[in-house]
Amino acid sequence: MASSEHGESKVTRREFLMGSAAIAASIAGTSLSQAETNPAGDSKLEALLFLLPLLSCPTETSIRITALNDKQPAEAVIEMRKEGAQEWERKKPALKLAAYEIFNWTVKDLSRATRYEYRVLLKQGTDETWRPVAGGSFTTQRKGPANYTAVLMTDPHTGSFPAGSGPALTLDKVVQNASRAKPEFVLDLGDNVAWPGSREFPQKDPNGAMNAYARYRRQIGPLSINAPHFAILGNWGGENGKFPEKSIEIVAAVRRSLLPAPDHKTYPQGGSEKEDYYAFTWGDVLYVMLNIQTYSKPSNPEALPSLMSDVNQITEWTLGEKQMAWFESTLKNATERFRFVCMHHPAGGNAGDPMNTLYGRGGARAWNTGEQVKIHALMKKHKVQIFFYGHDHVFVDDVVDGIHYTLPGSCGAPWKFTKAETGYERFWPDSGHAQLDVTPEKATVTFINVEGKVLHSFSVLPA
Ligand SMILES: [Fe+2]
């Protein structure tokens, strides 16, 4: 990896390059041409990157930018300027990149709540001059009451479907729709990636994960160049607690390379060194991003009721002691007037049938089951307004004790579960995403289907 700022990856460079070649081989020849992923069709930019930049970990003074080189060795630099300024400022010395190498910059010394433009420039072979190859813009972290828009997406299961198939086209469309809102960031609520066996079997090598994460990056490129992503894990992410630690770590290393998230040092709220749970402030809102998958360990892994199951009993869904203690103190210390919690599914279940209940389905219906009882009580005590989740692939908005349990549909997965499976009385089976508009007075969530139609909207008031 080109960077040492975010710790050593457990995937060796050789393994990664082999995996990168596998990614290239598997994606080459698909209908996803570089031109389609070139930012905003900007003809001034040349398509010399295998993966467009992904913005992550925005703070008041810094941003992390990762991209993946294409097949030619190259040198790369990054330039930035405040929006509207004329002159580009070169922020980092040039990085030397091998074919299909990830490059990774954390740009520092930025100003708070400010819109910046950036561009990546490359030199290949005997090139004398730098060529701009990708770019975009972003806003640094806001503190205190502010107006802004964010978007929520969940369950594309990217890696399960061939390029050009219906689910992949759905994600492309949702990415376009979401980009139109000019969100300041994106919340990815899990099952962002999936590949055959990722839910059922421990991973012995990083190849499946690399392929799926690379495809996800490829598809979200038009959004990821302009809006930092904050992702959490779903049960298809290959990091479920029923797997051995070693195989979880193989996949986690790929995730941290290709879909980096904040770690315990990024924000004052802290979180996990493994970038799997964390919290951040944006304006007057606290976002707490939780991992329900990795710390839930089945009591009898040999006797799970089915290959899809992660636990033997519903009470085994857990954040684990460390994450729960952190969650509790994060809420206790919160000063933001809006508080939103995100998790792939509740730490319990109450669905249409016993199998789906054990699988964690049912959203608000599961508020008083398993460890969700405790999570719900903490959310109530600390005035959390919305619990955002994924997993059930339909739009849902139910309220318990004034807390919205809100599921922003699916932005790809085609399986639309019915009342028989989920138990929901009211839901929208469309694909799509949710838009979150925050003002000092209220926060409004709008469900938008893949055709751009508004399905439902609600607002919450500050605590
Ligand atoms: Fe899921």
Condensed to tens digits (0 to 9), the pLDDT of residues 267-291 reads 999 999 999 999 999 999 999 999 9
Is residue 174 a part of any domain in this protein?
A: yes
Q: What is the pTM of this model?
A: 0.92
CA distance 426 to 309: 26
**Whether residue 108 has pLDDT greater than 80:** yes
Cα–ligand 1 centroid distance for 269 (angstroms)? 26
142: left (phi over 0), alpha (psi -120 to 50) or beta: beta
Is residue 205 a part of any domain in this protein?
A: yes
The pLDDT > 90 percentage for the chain reads 85
Is residue 410 a part of any domain in this protein?
A: yes
Q: State whether 220 and 294 are in the same domain.
A: yes
Q: State whether 159 and 192 are in the same domain.
A: yes
Residue 39, pLDDT score: 41
Q: State whether 123 and 153 are in the same domain.
A: no
Sign of the four-CA dihedral 172, 192, 15, 76:
positive
Is residue 7 a part of any domain in this protein?
A: no
Alpha-carbon distances, residue 365 vs 175, 311, 399, 406, 455 (angstroms) = 30, 19, 10, 12, 21
**Whether residue 122 has pLDDT greater than 80:** yes
The encoded tokens of residue 3 equal 């960077």
Q: State whether 220 and 113 are in the same domain.
A: no
Q: In sequence order, what are the residues at sequence separation of 6 or more whose Cβ sits closer than 8 angstroms to the Cβ of residue 232? A: 188, 189, 190, 261, 276, 277, 289, 290, 291, 342, 343, 344
Residue 87, pLDDT score: 96
Please state, as a whole number, how many other Cβ atoms lie within 10 Å of the Cβ of residue 267: 18
Cα–ligand 1 centroid distance for 392 (angstroms)? 7
CATH number at residue 88: 2.60.40.10
Residues listed for the chain: 463
Is residue 6 a part of any domain in this protein?
A: no
Give the environment of ion ligand 1: residues with CB less than 5 A: 191, 234-235, 391
Cα–ligand 1 centroid distance for 359 (angstroms)? 9
Q: State whether 257 and 155 are in the same domain.
A: yes
Cα–ligand 1 centroid distance for 192 (angstroms)? 9
Over range 306-335, report the average pLDDT: 98
Cα–ligand 1 centroid distance for 121 (angstroms)? 38
CATH number at residue 361: 3.60.21.10
Is residue 2 a part of any domain in this protein?
A: no
Residue of 407, 399, 400, 283 whose CA lies nearest to 342: 407
Strand, coil or helix: 376: helix
Q: Which of 139, 173, 200 is the last residue of a domain?
A: 139
Q: Which of 113, 139, 165 is the last residue of a domain?
A: 139
Q: State whether 298 and 412 are in the same domain.
A: yes
Total of domains in the chain: 2
Q: Kindly report the average pLDDT of the chain as a whole number.
A: 91
Q: State whether 88 and 168 are in the same domain.
A: no
Is residue 84 a part of any domain in this protein?
A: yes
pLDDT single digits (tens) 293-306: 999 999 999 999 99
**Whether residue 169 has pLDDT greater than 60:** yes
Is residue 248 a part of any domain in this protein?
A: yes
For residue 131, the 8-state DSSP code is: E
Q: State whether 294 and 325 are in the same domain.
A: yes
Q: In sequence order, what are the residues at sequence separation of 6 or more whose Cβ sits closer than 8 angstroms to the Cβ of residue 126? A: none
Q: What's the first-to-final CA gap in the chain, in angstroms? A: 44
Cα–ligand 1 centroid distance for 412 (angstroms)? 12
What are the backbone dihedrals phi and psi of residue 170, each rounded to the nearest 5 degrees, phi first? -60, -45
Residue 93, pLDDT score: 81
Write out the residue range of the structural domain in which residue 438 sits: 148-460
> To which H or E segment does residue 14 belong?
helix 13-27
The alpha carbons of the chain give a radius of gyration, in whole angstroms, of 21
Cα–ligand 1 centroid distance for 307 (angstroms)? 14
Cα–ligand 1 centroid distance for 14 (angstroms)? 32
How much of the chain is helix, strand and coil, in % rounded to 5?
25, 25, 50
Band (163; pLDDT cuts 50, 70, 90): confident
Q: State whether 426 and 455 are in the same domain.
A: yes
Cα–ligand 1 centroid distance for 411 (angstroms)? 12
Q: State whether 330 and 223 are in the same domain.
A: yes
Q: State whether 192 and 323 are in the same domain.
A: yes
Cα–ligand 1 centroid distance for 292 (angstroms)? 11
Cα–ligand 1 centroid distance for 145 (angstroms)? 33
CA distance 385 to 411: 24
Which residues are bridge partners to 395 per DSSP? 408, 428
CA distance 420 to 184: 37
Cα–ligand 1 centroid distance for 156 (angstroms)? 10
Q: Which of 100, 116, 139 is the last residue of a domain?
A: 139
Residue 140, pLDDT score: 98
Dihedral angle computed from the Cα positions of residues 147, 278, 112 and 149, in that order, rounded to the nearest 10 degrees: -20
Cα–ligand 1 centroid distance for 414 (angstroms)? 12
Q: State whether 17 and 51 are in the same domain.
A: yes
